[in-house]
Amino acid sequence: MSRANQLLTYAMWLFLLVVFLFPIYWLVVSSFKTEGQQFAIPPIWFPAPATLENYIELFSDAKVINSLKNSLTIAGVTLAAVALLGIPAAYSMARFRVGGSLMMLVIFTARLLPPVAYIIPLFAIARGLNLYDKHESLVALYTFFALPLAIWMLVGFISAIPDEIEDAAMIDGASRIGVIWHVVLPLIRPGLASVTIFMLLTSWNEFPLAVTLTARKARTLPVTMYTFVTNQNIAWGELAAAGVLSATPIVIAGLLVQKHLVMGLVTGSGK
């Protein structure tokens, strides 16, 4: 490639980065501005000195702390539930073809169902069974919507382990559960890491179900952020700070498992 050509490419890349990353940049700098600076004319491109008042405000708000706790609990319990249900199922499907291709198709399709279309029946069910505004409801739903993807990815990882390794362990007297715990899981550790991140993504970022099914008690962070907006006076700085806090761990985790993202996205086409 000629030098001029190369420079042109770099110029185009720079342009792309500016266009695509400006909104993210704006979110981050807004979180370090005072309320008075948010809509200054002309805009303040870089706040100096940066203020931490939005973050301080956020952490002194009991509602925010409560919803942060809710989000963490719900994401954690969902992860455990998915592991408990998903790992044995994936093992059984990968090793013994239990369920066959029909179940694989069901799982694949379940992953594609739009949660939004289920808001109304779930709302009605939650009200009827006294499950409205309960952590358990969200855990059950997130487990349901996360499980198909988890199983799909895990089947791929487990199938890649040669049977002989397990056979050897079983001749040595290990039980089936023992083999899964001591042989299979350690071998698919990198795969487990990316499944974990996808599961966290599902529950941590979920909005439509949470906004429909929770009120004061079980409200998650995204829903609490939404309540900032519905007030007459929108606390943009605080909202931006909450956005930065909520997005940072996910973005970092996502970038770490980059090579598995495509697989999660198309649900196992690379297999």
Partner 1 sequence: MRTGASPRMTLPNVGLLNPLHGSRRVKVWLALPAFVFIIAGIIYPSGYLLYNSMTAWSLTRLDLGQTFIGLDNYAKLLADQRFYSSLSITATFTIATTSIQTVLGVSLALLLNRNIRGEGLVRTLLLIPWLTAPFISGFNFRFMMAPNIGVIAQVLEFLGFDAITQASILGSPKSALGAIILVHVWNGVPGTMLVVTGGLKTIPEELYLAARVDGADRWQLLRYITLPLVRYAVLISAFLTTLFIFKAFEMIFIMTGGGPGDSTEVLAVYQYWVGIRTLNIGYGSSIAVVQLVVAFIVSIIYARLMFSQAD
| Contacts (CB under 8 A) with partner 1, residues 192-251 | 204-205, 207-208, 212, 222, 225-226, 229, 236, 239-240, 243, 246-247, 250-251
CB of 57 to partner 1, least distance (A): 16
Residues 30 and 237: beta-carbon distance below 8 Å: yes
CB of 59 to partner 1, least distance (A): 18
Give the whole-angstrom CA distance, residue 174 versus residue 184: 12
Q: HSE of 62 in the Cβ direction (CA atoms, 13 Å)?
A: 2
Chain residues 171-190 in contact with partner 1, contact rule CB under 8 A: 171, 173, 176
In the bound state with partner 1, the residue whose beta carbon lies nearer, of 50 and 113, is 113
CB of 42 to partner 1, least distance (A): 7
Site string for partner 1, 155-174 (x = CB under 8 A): ----x---xx-xx--xx-x-
CB of 33 to partner 1, least distance (A): 11
CB of 158 to partner 1, least distance (A): 11
Give the whole-angstrom CA distance, residue 183 versus residue 252: 29
In the bound state with partner 1, the residue whose beta carbon lies nearer, of 86 and 191, is 86
The region, left, alpha or beta by phi > 0 then psi within -120 to 50, assigned to residue 268 is left
Q: In sequence order, which residues have a C-beta less than 8 Å from that of residue 213 and are 6 or more positions away? A: 122, 123, 126, 131, 132, 133, 137, 138, 141
What ranges in 62-113 are assigned the alpha helix state H? 62-96, 100-112
Chain residues 112-141 in contact with partner 1, contact rule CB under 8 A: 112-125, 127
